Structure 1
Amino acid sequence: MARPSIVPISLTVDDRTGYTLWAPPWEEDGEEWQAFLGTTEGDVATVHLFPTPAKLAAFCRTSTDHDLADHPVWPVVAGLGAPDLTPDDDHRYDLDGVYDIAAEDPDRWAVEELAATVDIVTRLAECLDTTDEDDDDEQFEAVAELAGKPEIGSLGLGVEAFAGRSGEDAWIGVGSVLDELWEDVVEELSEHFDWTGAGTATIEEYPPASEAGEDTGDVDEDDATPEPLDVAVTEPGGATAAAVATGAGVRAIARGSRVTASPAAVAAAAEFWEAVGILPVEIVVPEGAGVTLRCYVEDVARFLGRDGEVFLFDTPADLARFCAGNEQHDLTEIASWPEVADTDTLPLPAEQDRYDLTELSEVLTEVADGAAGLVPHRALVQPVEGVRDLAEYADLTRVEELLAPGMPLGRAVARADREPGTPLDAAEAAQLRPLWDDAVVAVSGALVFRD
């Protein structure tokens, strides 16, 4: 089980978006705990929702009368500012949007988003349910019924569960269950949502769903937040709260990157790139950051490049101009390439297709220097995925050796798959850092930054 952490999230219900905090399951004194920022009075539990991350931060600085006050990392959270308490795209849950998602084709984004929304709904119900185990009356009957449906359970299997004719039928089944139960689910939960920010806000302050992503976390001078503490609060995905800050509706796709795009633009672009089977990818190495394209041919990674060299471009616009040209490369023979060459859709990398290879090196250094326990092994998963693909395409035997099962880095990656929540310790991080740097150097040699 992962170490204690607290994650900023947002919930959109009835075209209104509120911000709060979620403490994913952790173990303490032999018991498993999970909680949201809220209070319990008698038989009624509520989740406090705030109109902006700034309002949320102000509450966290001044209040200890809530269910997270005794959380092990609450003292850290109480010192964070609005940018640090702004949820990333993976922790924004649109309860209004499930019907639209279910009406889409079951690509990986639709399946993952729907699965995540159902998951947070069940977690809310678990934390808000104050009935005794022996009580026959359930507070959240619709949520329990939804979670028990096998069609909903299939979401946890990923997009593969919805492939082919049987998969189409399974996806239709998911939509039917949602049509039957979702309104009741939302109604049950809504009775426990506090839209006053624990008495700090009025209902008029909450942004409609269309404007929620534009919140900058700005505050009046009297409400200005202090500088964030120099301590990391680890997310389930391994990122720190400070690493997920967003601003003004524009998401920097990676530190050092020249790529910025609104979440809506990324999602819209993803429809085209998913359809052609060639995805935009961002790679960040010590020498710089760039975007390229990648697909898989018989499960083997193939990049926009030639002779084992991967072409990187400063911006999606630069990459698009290259794609519209006539230069030959290893993606030219892909059947859908003519569509890529002719499209006006910018190649905007999605979150899961970002590979910041420098950040892991920094994280390993921090853990080795004393931040042990704050970073789980799952932090290795995404950057290693990028390195593996690049090494496979460029035939980098040195990287394959470093990631071999019997090598320290290979063993750590295997543990990340087997026990993703297990924290990295200082000794392991100190051992892995030079090995990871060695792999990044090898990969960097295969990257060609194009004008």
Structure 2
Amino acid sequence: MSNRAIIPVKLSLTKGDFYTLWAPTWKEHGEEWQAFLGDDDHVLVFSSSADLLTYLESAKPHDLSSHPKWKAFEAGSADRVVPGSKDEYDIIGAPALLAGRASYESVDALARIFAITRSLAEVTTAKDAVLFFASHSVLSNVARGYEHYAGEHGPGEWSAVGRTVLSNWAKVVSALDEQVRVVEVDSELSADAQTRIDEAATAAAAAKEQAEKAAQKAAEQADPYDSTDWASAGIDPVKITIQGKSVYTLRTYVDGAPQFLGRFGEMFTFPTPKQLVRWIVENDEHDLARTATWEELMIAANAGELEIQVHPVNSYSYSGLVADISKGPEAVDTEQMSRGYELFADAADWASDDSLNSFFLAHPRMQDYISYMLGSTGSSGYVPSKPYTDHAEGWKQLEEILIKRFSKF
């Protein structure tokens, strides 16, 4: 069943504009039903939404009280009786929509008018209106939309609809006029209802505005990278700037363990993003090809839609670190050093070799220095002292260990 199970509508008939409730087709116990707010004899209509709300709050009996969604509708705010712009039906003015050529607007409006007119006719058994729809099959194509009338034979068929309506519509409207009863309500109660409708509408507009601002703020704060193929696959481009050059590769984590684009401990690196993409399209002999989401990237790459986008957290720069280390701890950007060391460790874990461990075994003070600089445990009270050239040289050797893993540099 539609979420709009019971809809407030505005109907323009011979005697004016009226408001009522419409329950489009729903299924219950295997049967289809449709209904309007009414009694045993007529559809009940009102001169305003406030009059409609006043009547509903009077608890007088009506046909919709047995609708399966009635209680949910009844529990809504006061403005639940106000029709939306698409729920206003100028039934008496339908012929005017056919005076010109078919357009998106005119076909859509006419289709909606036909739908509610036919529903009114069937619910109230308004004979002339029922016969009108049953006798003219050309009317059913209006529901197909503007595209149906955009072809070679479209204008002729649209004209046929116009002639049919022009010849019969007065009888249709007259038949419906006889099936509605305008209900009068207490004016003071209606005025109070209007006040509550206005308050509810204001509150709803404020809530909508707040929700839109929140959505806009969330969109502004969203990371564009999250919508890329890389983020979807969980495999990230990595940029490494070291010793005056930059290279690109790929990395992911499988069960917390790093995996690079490469094989047997050799990290496949490329001087430009385009070369990297071109290579992965033509080669599948590497560790990442075994990951579950690699095929997602290949689909995008083969379609020419994959572009290298490096998120800032995956961009590593070693520029100036050796020189800064030689100046002393105060000159070192510890965030830059921490990220650089992270890449050393990831590469060593992935390669499953002892190069990093062997280096620290041979240079224990370098391990203490890094622990001190990064504020980690295990520095054993060590504090760096001049000269700092040994630390700078040690860091340079760590960079060389990483570079030796590169396929190209």
**Smaller-chain TM-score bracket:** 0.3 to 0.5
**TM-score, normalised relative to structure 1:** 0.44
* RCO higher in structure (CA 8 A, sep ≥6): 1
Choose between structure 1 and 2: higher helix proportion. 2
